[in-house]
């Protein structure tokens, strides 16, 4: 069978098949991660508390319609029995953050497992369970309410937690350095494009489906199951395991990757990793990016619906627009980054610093502009879209910086840095829920100022201490020599101790 596949597919670049399939893994993961952000606006009773703050709220986009003509653009979608849930802004914040409770737990174990045993099954079964728990969500909410929803979202988070570390492992096994910015940007573009697809599709389903909000979870969960089937057929841990990669491509990847990527490196040198300033600079960048991005994916639909008063259908479209712009920004900046590095116009270090600066300062300024645009819906959407466009520069900069620092330990490094960054996913929905109980413009302006401050502070750390070169502790020979020297030193100390005791 493998011979037939090799005859059929040896002319196809298998590393780009791997890149495309890992893109769709992140695409599926993010459709499920963010779909609740828009469906929750249709699961709960409308917030009418802003009636006492009329000067600080926007008029509704909807026109009055005759009695009996209401549909899902004027009233919330319903589930099995028509129940609308009376969940406070605080409770909704807890629900939206619960995904990240599980998500941060499996980061480091997932990365270490992928480094030791490969990424195929670690990523594959993670996305499989991701889909299964999502399909179970409607029935869980029907019988268990907010508690069941929180538990299921924690389980989804546990299933997704290994995704980013495993993606780093797969990229380190399959992508040479001169293709890293383009390939990394394509893979990590699964996040904004998955968000685009989820928010726009959810808006359409909520508008037109007679099944209400449960249909969103069934559809998106089913996509993950379909991806799992294709992944298990076409993708493998590394070129050595691939049964139908061409000899030409295999030799090319072996030559390009063998210098810094080793088959069986020593255990993760955590002492060196945790003592590395470039690693902590990357952690800072991940925190800054995570704070802005997680606030947007968790709460932008609420801002569009509750503050700007867009209808559910327009909410879906307009909430997806910034992420489409982010993807376009990542494509442009990734090509520029690879061009700068390949032609020696800038060092890898400076390319990463420049990209992260664009991805931090740009969103910070545009988001503040949006907060002062008031109820000018066109200007607000434009400002947020421009901010997210510049945020796209994060994908070919800080998102691939872990691969620069240590190809051998890319999974563990991504697990550490992205895991800490993901803690912002727990904090931001809770903070937004606490700061915006009435969903007014002034409440949200404070949220946007916090995002701005975090972006600027974390980028400053990255610019000062980041590095784009392979670190000395990535070298297995260095680690083995260090271990040998420690043993020799200990043996010498033991001999000296025995000599002293014998002399006594």
* pLDDT mean over 231-247: 86
Per CATH, 12-47+83-247 and 268-470 having the same topology is answered yes
At 1 the pLDDT is 46
CA distances to 182, 238, 325, 405 from 15, rounded to whole Å, are 13, 9, 26, 21
| pLDDT score at 313 | 62
**Continuous H helices in 309-468:** 312-342, 348-371, 377-391, 401-405, 410-435, 441-465
The residue whose two tokens read 């928010």 is 199
pTM of the model: 0.73
CATH topology of domain 268-470: Growth Hormone; Chain: A; (1.20.1250)
Q: Is 390:363 a contact under the CB 8 Å cutoff?
A: yes
pLDDT at position 112 is: 83
Residue 77 has pLDDT above 60, yes or no: no
Mean pLDDT of the chain: 84
The whole-angstrom separation of Cα 186 and Cα 22 is 9
Q: What is the pLDDT of residue 477?
A: 84
Report domain extents, the chain.
Answer: 12-47+83-247, 268-470, 477-503
pLDDT at 71: 37
Could you say which of 3.30.590.10, 3.40.50.1370, 1.10.1740.10, 1.20.1250.20 is the CATH number of the domain covering 12-47+83-247? 1.20.1250.20
Q: Could you tell me the pLDDT band of residue 312, with boundaries at 50, 70 and 90?
A: low
Q: Pick from 161, 172, 228: which is nearest to 21 by CA? A: 228
Residue 412 burial (CB count, 10 A):
26
Question: Is pLDDT of 356 > 90?
Answer: yes
In the prediction, which pLDDT does 428 show?
A: 86
Residue 73 scores a pLDDT above 60: no
Ranges 217-221, 339-343, 455-459: which has the least confidence: 339-343
pLDDT value of position 436: 85
CA 98, CA 355: separation in Å to the nearest integer?
31
Which of residues 476 and 60 earns the better pLDDT score?
Answer: 476
Q: Who wins on pLDDT, 441 or 253?
A: 441
The percentage of the chain sitting over the pLDDT mark of 70, rounded to a whole number, equals 88
Highest mean pLDDT of the ranges 21-30, 252-261, 333-342: 21-30
pLDDT classification of 307: cutoffs 50, 70, 90? confident
Q: Which residue has the higher pLDDT, 381 or 311?
A: 381
Residue reference for tokens 């599980």: 102
CA distances from 390 to 232, 322, 402, 468 (A): 35, 10, 21, 21
Q: What is the pLDDT of residue 6?
A: 55
Express each pLDDT in 170-200 by its tens digit: 888 888 877 777 888 788 889 888 988 998 8
Average pLDDT over residues 402-424: 87
pLDDT-derived band at 419 (thresholds 50, 70, 90) equals confident
Are 406 and 474 contacting, i.e. CB atoms less than 8 angstroms apart?
yes
> In the structure encoding, which two tokens stand for residue 214, read together?
């449960």
Structure confidence at residue 262 (pLDDT):
54
Of 62-71, 158-167, 382-391, 417-426, which gets the smallest average pLDDT?
62-71
Structure confidence at residue 217 (pLDDT): 95
């Amino acid at each position: 069978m493998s011979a037939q596949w090799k005859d059929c597919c040896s002319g196809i670049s298998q590393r780009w098949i791997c890149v495309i399939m890992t893109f769709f893994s992140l695409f599926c993961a993010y459709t499920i991660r963010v779909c609740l952000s828009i469906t929750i606006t249709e699961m709960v009773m409308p917030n009418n508390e802003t009636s006492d703050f009329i000067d600080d709220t926007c008029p509704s986009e909807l026109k009055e319609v005759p009695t009996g003509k209401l549909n899902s653009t004027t009233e919330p979608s319903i589930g099995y029995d028509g129940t609308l849930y009376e969940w406070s802004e605080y409770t909704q914040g807890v629900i939206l953050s619960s995904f990240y409770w599980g998500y941060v737990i499996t980061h480091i174990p997932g990365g270490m497992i992928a480094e030791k045993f490969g990424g195929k099954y670690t990523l594959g079964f993670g996305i499989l369970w991701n889909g299964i728990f999502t399909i179970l969500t409607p029935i869980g909410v029907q019988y268990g309410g907010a508690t069941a929803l929180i538990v299921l979202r924690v389980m989804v988070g546990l299933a997704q937690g290994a995704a980013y570390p495993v993606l780093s492992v797969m990229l380190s096994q399959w992508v040479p350095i001169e293709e890293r910015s383009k390939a990394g940007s394509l893979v990590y573009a699964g996040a904004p494009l998955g968000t685009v697809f989820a928010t726009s599709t959810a808006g359409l389903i909520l508008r037109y489906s007679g099944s209400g909000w449960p249909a969103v979870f069934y559809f998106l969960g089913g996509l993950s199951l379909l991806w799992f089937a294709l992944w298990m057929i076409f993708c493998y841990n590394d070129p050595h395991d691939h049964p139908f990669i061409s000899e030409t491509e295999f030799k090319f990847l072996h030559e390009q990757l063998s210098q810094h990527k080793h088959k069986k490196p020593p255990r993760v040198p955590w002492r060196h990793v945790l003592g590395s300033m470039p690693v902590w600079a990357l952690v800072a960048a991940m925190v800054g990016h995570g704070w802005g991005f997680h606030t947007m994916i968790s709460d932008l639909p609420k801002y569009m619906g509750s503050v700007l008063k867009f209808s559910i259908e327009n909410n879906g479209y307009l909430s997806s627009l910034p992420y489409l712009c982010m993807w376009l920004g990542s494509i442009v900046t990734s090509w520029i980054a690879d061009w700068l590095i390949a032609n020696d116009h800038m060092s890898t270090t400076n390319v990463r610093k420049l990209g992260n600066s664009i991805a931090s300062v740009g969103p910070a300024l545009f988001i503040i502009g949006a907060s002062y645009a008031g109820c000018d819906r066109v200007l607000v959407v434009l400002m947020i879209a421009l901010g997210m466009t510049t945020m796209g520069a994060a994908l070919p900069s800080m998102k691939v910086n872990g691969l620069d620092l240590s190809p051998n330990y890319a999974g563990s490094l991504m697990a550490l840095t992205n895991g800490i960054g993901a803690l912002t996913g727990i904090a931001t929905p809770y903070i937004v829920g606490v700061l915006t109980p009435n969903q007014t413009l002034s409440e949200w302006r404070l949220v946007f100022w916090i995002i701005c401050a975090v972006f600027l502070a974390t980028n400053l750390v990255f610019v000062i201490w980041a590095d784009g070169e392979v670190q000395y502790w990535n070298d297995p020979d260095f680690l083995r020599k260090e271990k040998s020297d420690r043993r020799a030193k200990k043996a010498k100390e033991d001999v000296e101790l025995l000599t002293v005791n014998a002399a006594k």
